[in-house]
Structure 1
Amino acid sequence: MCLSQGLLTWTLILAALTAPASSLPPVIGTDGGFVNLSGSLSLPASRQVTWSFNGDQIVIQFADGAPIYGPLYRGGRCELYPDTTLRLNNLTMADQGVYTMTVQDLDPLSPPQEQQIELRVYRHLTTPTLSSNDSRPVSGSEVNLHCDDDNQTVTSYTFYRNQQDVCSQTHVNCTGPYLIFQPIMEGDAGSYTCTIQNPISNSSSSNAVDLTVSVRVSAVKIQNNTNSILWVGRDSVSLNCSALGTDVQFSWNLNGEKLPSNPRYSLQQNDSLLIIHPVDRSDDGSFTCNASNWLNTNTSESLKLNLGLPVSEVKIQSNTSSSVILWAGNDSVSLSCSADGSALHFSWNLNGVPLPSDSRYQYNQDNSTIIISPLDKKDNGTFTCTATNVLNSETSSDLKLNLYWHPDGDIQCSANGTGQTVNLFCSWPGGLPPANINLTFQSHNQTGQDQVMHSVTLSTITSNDELFCHGAQGGQEKNCTLPLQKPDAEGFTNHSSIPVKIGEKATMTVTLSGSAVGVNSRVLSPKILPATFAWYHYKPEASEVSGGNIVSTELSSTLTLNSVTANENGTYECRATNLFGTTSFFFILDVTEEPVSKGLGAGEIAGIVLGVLAGLAIIGIIIFFILKSKKKKAKAQNFGINSAENPIGIPEYAVINKKNGGMAETSLTNNPQDDKDDVKYAVIKFQNQEQTKPPNSEPEVEYSTVKNASRK
């Protein structure tokens, strides 16, 4: 009996091991509690029911017999109900697994039925512990977080960063109790927690783990709060250092050395901000910022402050050496001014006075260079250059050009005198170095510089004498001669007639000229002695002309008569006087009336007719007197009136030319053959008395010449 029962039991066990597992959902149990495991197999009336777990028999029941419990399940550990439900009491975690129920139909004997049921035993969850495999993670490395559940049965793990689910990120892998960063980045820094959960417990959250992701220092930069000029001693500046990285510490260098301790330097904001108040000349250099953390150190590019430095070391230079001779009017020069300092403005002085505006002065953009082209003798002196900015001004030392220049104009020959003494001069002044002058007069030679004077008596000078001057300076030579004679106007014709109508303007001019006289003449165009001028009008006596209508220089004089009248007709004399005498120049002003050119009216025509008739009557009377005159002349000749005993002059009357309607006309000559239309007016001749002549006039002066009426 027992043997048969044992075989049956092993048969059932083998069948159970080979039977397919149940597809029913697992049964949930609580540690320390109980659970009912119920199958769904058909139950024959005559049956054998067996429950087993991991190969160990829990209970077996034959037909209507009482359940037989295995050794581990006795004492109330389990209970089999008539409907084959198995109750497990005092569950432990060891009870967790797959349970198998086998039902064997004993009448008739057939293959057993088998069903498997999974039991999951859960404890109430305790707080998990979250930890990291790297206490100082570095950006770019792989970091793991572990949610330790202390071997509790957990159905789900959830990870949070700053209370936000973190597992959705692409570089994060959440696998069971592990959170893996592949790799971790700076943005992953934060406070992490994990939460666990099972079917019998609410979720339980771990402690918080703060991750600080260390990042290497990079991109270190310095920024200046201003690009303007910072004037030393007056302005301030802020330098801000920035960098990428974590836990960055900042420090400053100046010209590669640690920034010295100075009350002008103020460090703020973890030393990333440097305030300099005020800036100083010692800040003229390269500032750099060092950014560092426990991983590395990085240094910024250098920054140089735009310091406004005061003016110093002002110097002036020429593009030529001091030994080079510069000639005014020919050469040019370039002067340059240099100085230390910021935002400099340059200005130039000559002999302590600012250079005037002059097209010869050409400046560059900042006035530091001036080109003088060409040089002028006005540029002789000391040049200085002044450099200026908002802080101060400073002036260079003096620079003097080695400047020479030629005398102004040509060499001058001149003479003046007092009484019987005549002073002769040769002058060519104004040059540097002074011109060498040689004066030659008669047999006398005299030398000097700039000007030479030689005095002689007036009585020793002849009309053929001349003064000769020679000058030499700077490679140039000049000559001049001065004839020592009374005034002359070469080509001037005395007593030339000047026809002018009443109301018009008449101009008479005398211009002195010189001629190379004597055997000692050495130039073609000699100098002329200056003269004084006086004008006279003969009416018929000479009366001096004065007033604003005379314009005279040392070498010329002009008399202008505006709106000429009949009273201004006649002879004019211009007397030119110098050291050696006076020369007179004569003009004859021929004033005529303006002919009528207007159209005539009826009354005017009648008047003309009456005038013609009256004229004819007068002509008849004139003819009568002429005939009578001829008779008297014949008688006079018979009586010897023209003899020495009769001093009375006989007038010569005008001859009437009938070609012009019987009107008398003037003549330019005394010869009737020169113009048959002309009549010579009477000229009174006295046999025993000389004619009155103008002063200083030449012999046989013709005082009155009457112009032909047809010449207008």
Structure 2
Amino acid sequence: MELSSVVCICILLSVTLVVAPVSGTELTSNTTEWVWEGESVSLDCTTQVENGTFLWKVNGDSLPASDRYYISKNEANTNSTLIISPIFRNDTGSFICEVSNTTVNETSNAVNISVAKPPDSLSIGCSAASLTGGVQLTCSWIGGDPAADIELSFNGTIDKGKNEVNRSVNLDNDVQQPEFICQGNQVGKTSKCNITLERPLSTSHDNNAVTSATEGENIKLTVSLTSQNSLTPEYAWVRLSTDTVNITSDGKYKVESSSSGSTLHISSATGSESGTYECRARNIIGTTTFKFNVEVKSKGSGGLSGGAIAGIVIGVLAGVALIGVGVFFLVKKLK
């Protein structure tokens, strides 16, 4: 049997894989993508290229001349720093640095910087304004561009919005959380404030004190609030008796109230005005009752007045004088 020749031709294919060189030049920043207008930004370019020349670019073009741009490098030419201070909104852009020598040209990664207009205040504001029958809570951080994200947290509920968030709370609401919290976030910049609301308080008031007056005098009963965040309460004056009587400004009585307190004026007091009075101050957190004990004396009670005493003294002296005159004439007659 004749074997046929088998010719085996082997072809060796050489495949060359081309890999793009990894840049040894890196650009970093001291800030996140967003920065507030007026702040300073530092960009740091580090390279492995020896004896390289640095070229800074923004949005693909060479960095324009500006007295707000400060460029420096180290002695070994391995690092260059760009400081922009203050930074303006027209500085928004994509920054890179290029490093080259006679044999190598490398481009860093890009660092994107966006410049925002900060809010009018650097801190978010909390406020509580009294309304008829309640209060309006406000969280405000306005004026920024882009607008700030706002959260208002009170009594277990969160309201969200842009720039400013308001919530009206009625006196009849059941408030379990007296602290109200504002939180703001504008381009990663955050701010927080809080107010712990209080029911009306007065550290100077004595519920056991007695106010005394004489018939015909005017009486003034005053509550002075000392709590810092009690809000403007609603005041109700009553007189305690067999039937509780509500007091309003009418004739003999006059009520004057403000955010810091309330006063009841009683004109030309009589004995019938004696008794216990209450001022009930109420806000969304709660009600505080302030008591006043009033005692009105008749004009003939409580000792003699200065005029009465003077009259008695004059009468006594006159009587003594008359006795002296009588004795004088009696002695003369006996002679």
What TM bracket, shorter-length normalisation? 0.3 to 0.5
TM-score (structure 1 length as normaliser): 0.22
User: Higher relative CO (CA 8 A, sep ≥ 6), structure 1 or 2?
Assistant: 2
Indicate the structure with greater strand content: 2
TM-score (structure 2 length as normaliser): 0.42
